[in-house]
Structure 1
């Protein structure tokens, strides 16, 4: 039986790590995955595997990347069910004007990491709305501040000690559509 997964690479195309999506597709297919599709240039892939444990798929992806690029490029692997949950209507109301804001999802290695990230957001001096959903934390950012607002800075600091990566909710909607 085939299982469908979404794979999110962390930190590609920044800091000298260049992973072309056509190369990623080829690498994953050569590694035994099928129906590999990539989305955008930020390290998003959808694939099929006979393996039914997403952590095993994640380790396989990590090893393929490590061998090919001679460096660690961490991944997070989410099941189709998890993606379907994250692709529901965004859990926080976007402030007006809505078109000036984005809904973001910081994807975490575990539900515990997501809860701890949520607690850290709650502890910021300036209040920011957030919502923990499984292994992800939903938060809102004004356009143009996705790397400079308090949550973004906190996520950047947390990424030094945890495997996590952030995606726009619209990207998650597109990934869910590919998985279906």
Structure 2
């Protein structure tokens, strides 16, 4: 049975978007998915299902999360082998750029069109660069980028529905679940 990894966007932020790990597991199991596990409290969940349609899986999870929490939880799903390849590519991008201050991986619901990819990648500056590969956009930030700024390259706003994780979380999840 295929293993999938879902990334939940905008949970456990502030007092009104709480979604404890046990509640996430229960909601995922409520739609019939099995072997459910979470990693840290930022909305990373592994599960198995015989379903093959990523869009259908995302819809089912989003409906279950809305029913459980009462608010929308955008959900981005990857098949485990797809995520393993994404994590390996992320590690390689960092290795090719010694001295990076941060590497954030934006996990996208949908691939970007070529024009948007060009606009995102053109946002490179002294602060760093963004490289798009499939449903992942890598924010590769150099020393001196402005910490605390949500989008230091001004490109994340172009990515559509997605959520980000730092390189450590991406590689840890891949090692643990892929």
What TM-score do the two structures reach when normalised by structure 2? 0.83
Residue-by-residue CA offset, 1:13-38 (whole Å, 9 max, x unaligned)? 11421111121012111221111110
Give the match for residue 6 of structure 2.
7
Matched ranges for 1:36-47 at <5 A:
36-47=36-47
Q: Which residue does the alignment assign to 1:176?
A: 174
For residues 75-94 of structure 1, the aligned pairs below 5 Å read 75-88=75-88, 89-92=91-94, 93-94=96-97
Report the CA distance between 1:129 and its aligned residue: 2.0
Residue ranges of structure 2 left out of the alignment (5+ in a row): none
SS in 2 for 1:76: strand
- Displacement of 1:60 in angstroms is 0.7
Q: Is the 8 A contact 1:83 1:176 kept in 2?
A: yes
**Shift of residue 50 of structure 1?**
1.2
Contact 1:114 1:132 in 2 (8 A): no
Residue matched to 2:165? 167
SS in 2 for 1:105: strand
Structure 1 residues without counterparts, runs of 5 or longer: none
* Paired residues of 2:107 and 2:135 also in contact (CA < 8 A): yes
2:152 aligns with one of 150, 153, 165: 150
The alignment covers a number of residue pairs equal to: 172
Does residue 1:63 correspond to 2:63, yes or no? yes
Match of 1:128 in 2: 128
Decide whether aligned partners of structure 1 residues 78 and 70 sit closer, same or farther in structure 2, where only a CA change above 3 A counts.
same
Counterparts in 2 of 1:117 and 1:12: CA distance versus 1, 3 Å: farther
| Offset, 1:107 | 1.0
In the TM superposition, what whole-angstrom CA distance separates every residue of 1:71-96 from its partner, at most 9, and x where no partner exists? Answer: 21110001112201111123143443
CA distance 1:173–1:39, shift in 2 (3 Å): same
Tell me, in whole angstroms, the C-alpha distance in 1 between the residues paired with 2:146 and 2:24.
29
Shift of the 148–73 alpha-carbon distance from structure 1 to 2, 3 Å rule, reads: closer
- Under a length normalisation based on structure 1, what TM-score does the superposition of the two structures give? 0.82
1:5–1:54 contact (8 Å) kept in structure 2: no
RMSD: 2.5
